[in-house]
Amino acid sequence: MFNKFFGFWSKDIGIDLGTANTLVYVRGKGIVINEPSIVAVNQKTGKILAIGKEAKAMVGRTPGYIAIFRPLVSGVVSDFEVTEQMLKYFIDKVHQDGFALIPRPRVVIGVPSGVTEVEKRAVEDAAYNAGAREVYLIEEPMAAAIGARLPVHEAVANVIVDIGGGTTEVAVISMGGVIASRSLRIAGDKLNEDILRYMREEKKLLIGEATAEQLKCSLGSAFALDEELEGRVRGRDLISGLPKEMTVSSEELREAMERSVGAIVLAVKNTIEETPPELTADLFNRHIFLAGGGALLRGLDKHIAEETKLFVKIVDDPLAAVARGCGFVLENVGQLKSVLVSTQKDEFI
């Protein structure tokens, strides 16, 4: 009874609970929050010091007793209590300008397609404990396809590749269901690690995760560029132990990420191979759609197109595709209820 009362003043929200970033869609408003999935905790007191952007600004700059957590690993909850606090922070932030003293929103959350029932329940429980009155889950590739406005309920092949921070989700969708899929724990974070390792082993230069991500965004590519790029990178020389600056090229970073990019392309090819021939035939006249932050890696669309001999297209605003899909489900739940995978039996009213 009280939940329904407080829910009257609450805002229904869709959440892309990602390994790297969390995006929040508010019904009727669109995406209102896009912050890193990072939490800073004082280990002496157990108190949470910062969440989101404020916590990311602390990475690599804190004393030993302040720990920086990513409460989600490969898209699933690794620290339940910290995830709960992070969700509560985002729910409260959405309602800070409203009339709800105790927000009790309905929530749709995107989860990787390969998660277990236990992992689904962990996400649900964290959201309930954070203040949600109803929680529904949707698989991320389905949410990304809906967010890209693909005709998921038609009898045609919709191929979506969602490359996030912790996971790459590949799915062939038709008639509102997933026909074939792959969930790969190789994505943006793994590409950062590849660059870190390459710089350490080949260049003898120690750099931080933030620097590796910056290099990936500014110089990284998955396919040969018409004009290769070069940039300067600073770190610690592993031989002398002193600060050092050197030049690195897009060709070198492509070499560093080659194995991981190849695994993503192979997952796409294997998923297509598992697709029934009637749907495979559709692909000659349709695109493979790329979503997620990893879709922005230069030349990845060309690389996949060359390997599959099919058309490849990056969806509009790929970073927000899953959150848009969750929001679209909120606003059209009558038509899209069948795509939800939550074990919660309560239905939207």
85 is in an annotated binding site: no
For the chain, the residue count is 349
Bin 86: left if φ > 0, else alpha if -120 < ψ < 50, else beta.
alpha
Give CA–CA dist 148/135, Å, rounded: 23
- DSSP letter assigned to residue 16: E
Residue among 97, 92, 99, 81 nearest 131 (CA): 92
Query: What is the DSSP code string of 114-143?
Result: T--HHHHHHHHHHHHHTT-SEEEEEEHHHH
296 is in an annotated binding site: yes
Beta bridge partners of 320: none
Query: What is the DSSP code string of 57-102?
Result: TTTT-S-TTEEEE-SEETTEES-HHHHHHHHHHHHHHHTTTSS-SS
Tell me the CB-side half-sphere exposure of residue 103, using CA atoms within 13 A: 25
340 is in an annotated binding site: no
**Whether 168 contacts 267, CB under 8 Å:** yes
193 is in an annotated binding site: no
Give CA–CA dist 142/247, Å, rounded: 41
pLDDT at residue 215, rounded to an integer: 96
Bin 16: left if φ > 0, else alpha if -120 < ψ < 50, else beta.
beta
300 is in an annotated binding site: no
Domains and CATH numbers, the chain: 2-143+321-339 (3.30.420.40), 147-186+260-318 (3.30.420.40), 188-256 (3.90.640.10)
216 is in an annotated binding site: yes
E strand or H helix that includes residue 342: none
299 is in an annotated binding site: no
Tens of pLDDT along the chain (349 residues) come to 444 444 445 688 999 988 889 999 998 888 999 999 999 999 888 888 999 999 988 887 888 899 888 888 877 788 888 888 898 888 888 887 655 557 788 899 998 887 788 888 888 999 899 889 888 899 999 999 999 999 998 999 999 999 999 899 999 999 989 999 999 999 999 999 999 999 999 999 999 988 999 999 999 999 999 999 999 999 999 999 999 999 999 999 999 999 999 999 999 999 999 999 989 888 888 899 999 999 999 999 999 999 999 999 999 999 999 999 999 998 887 777 788 885 544 444 4
pLDDT at residue 340, rounded to an integer: 85
20 is in an annotated binding site: yes
pLDDT at residue 99, rounded to an integer: 54
211 is in an annotated binding site: no
213 is in an annotated binding site: yes
Cα 20 to Cα 53, 184, 319: the distances in Å are: 11, 16, 11
Q: Using CA of residue 36, residue 37, residue 38, residue 39, what is the dihedral sign?
A: positive
Give CA–CA dist 234/211, Å, rounded: 8
Give CA–CA dist 6/97, Å, rounded: 15
Report pTM.
0.87
Give CA–CA dist 41/19, Å, rounded: 18
